Structure 1
Amino acid sequence: MIKRNLLVMGLAVMLSACGFQLRGTGTTELTIKELDVSARDAYGQTVTQLRQVLERSGVSLRSGAPYRLSLDNEQQTQRAVTYSSGSRSAEYELTTVLNYSINGLNNVPLLSDKLEVRKIYVRDGDNITGSDQEGTQTRDEMRRDLVQAMVVRLQMLTPAHLDELQQQADQRAKAEAEAAAAAQRYRDETPQQSPLEIPGT
């Protein structure tokens, strides 16, 4: 018993040293301390839960923050993957895909990516109500997993990394503006040819 307890304690110390935390325990530390969070569905459950998790993690959510996280599009799909005899029950695969982007100063796009979560649940044709409740519960679990995955992505970003992305975006914008100005100058300085006149016969 003592050896087993020591083994469990040793594993816990090793995992915590690696930065691992069990879901629902401890706090999630982010180096980003200010963030503007928006979503196409401004009052949707995903963005609401994400805001709550970020605020509990010490992130100040405010309009006008240096960086803005935008949940651009969340898509949910469902497909049957297996059927039982008589097709009374089936396994369904639920998928949620969340497209997001992070913008910097002057609303300049810094990065964009997507998150994807999949789960399978069994729909019993003899218990429609219970199956619907299980489907709803599975979707809720997927939403929590999606929010957790989004927080993990944010944990990987630091203010220094975002500043670097901002500088790169500013340089690209400057180069594009200079190229557009040079093209316009070329058009302005190039004589326009007069229409070709065809002598009458």
Structure 2
Amino acid sequence: MIKRNLLVMGLAVMLSACGFQLRGTGTNELSIKELNLSARNQYGPTVMQLRRALESSGVKLYASAPYKLVLTNEQETQRSATYTGGNRSAEYELTTVLNYALEGQNDTLLLEDKLQVQKYYVYDGNNVNGSGQEATQVREEMRRDLVQGMMARLQQLTPAHLDDLQRKANERAEAEARALREAQRVQDETPQQSPMEIPAR
């Protein structure tokens, strides 16, 4: 037993020396150091876990931060994948989809995307309590996967990438404003027809 533990520890040291890191154990260094985090369910488990992950990565969270991450929608679905009538067991597929958006200066939309996680669990009709606990555990694992996925995507946002996204958002906003002004000018310059008068009999 001691030899096996020493072997595992030795392999871990060797792998870390080579730069290898297990998923979820590496550093979550983010270029974004200040962030406003909001969600429809502000105190839901997903946003609370993400808040803790961001804070532990050195991100300062406050309302007037230059960037705003909005968890716009989180949907969970469950469907039966397989069914065995004899022992009343069934395999269920759980899917969680998390839609999010990142906003920049003047609430301009920089990007919007979604994360999706799928897992399976077996429901045993002869062990309802155990199946319920397994489903709860699977949902917690899915939530952790969502948070890790969000952190991985935020890690990809370098200052240069953020500047480029902000520039494109500003260009879109300016183009939309020009189009609105042009439409208003055309409307103002178009003669308005007076309503047709019907002579009284």
TM-score norm. by structure 2 comes to: 0.87
Which blocks of at least 5 consecutive residues in structure 2 are unaligned?
Answer: none
Mapped partners of 2:198, 2:48: distance in 1 = 70
Partner of 1:64: 64
The equivalences for 1:1-201 within 5 A come to 12-14=16-18, 16=19, 21-86=21-86, 88-195=88-195
Q: CA offset at residue 171 of structure 1?
A: 1.1
RMSD over aligned CA atoms reads 2.5
**DSSP-derived class of the 1:76 partner:** strand
Aligned amino acid, residue 193 of structure 1: Q
Aligned amino acid, residue 28 of structure 1: N
Mapped partners of 1:31, 1:180: distance in 2 = 36
1:164-192 per-residue CA deviation (whole Å, 9 max, x = no partner) reads: 11111111111111111112112212222
Mapped partners of 1:48, 1:23: distance in 2 = 21
Mapped partners of 1:199, 1:24: distance in 2 = 81
Q: CA offset at residue 86 of structure 1?
A: 2.2
Greater shift in the superposed pair: 96-105 or 178-187: 178-187
Mapped partners of 1:159, 1:171: distance in 2 = 18
Aligned amino acid, residue 129 of structure 1: N
Aligned amino acid, residue 63 of structure 1: A
TM-score norm. by structure 1 comes to: 0.87
Q: CA offset at residue 7 of structure 1?
A: 7.9
Q: Aligned pairs, how many?
A: 195
Between the two proteins, what is the percent identity of the paired residues? 63
Aligned amino acid, residue 167 of structure 2: Q
**DSSP-derived class of the 2:74 partner:** strand
C-alpha spacing 1:130/1:184, structure 2 compared with 1 (3 Å): same
Mapped partners of 2:200, 2:48: distance in 1 = 75
**DSSP-derived class of the 2:66 partner:** coil
Q: CA offset at residue 31 of structure 1?
A: 1.1
**DSSP-derived class of the 1:191 partner:** coil
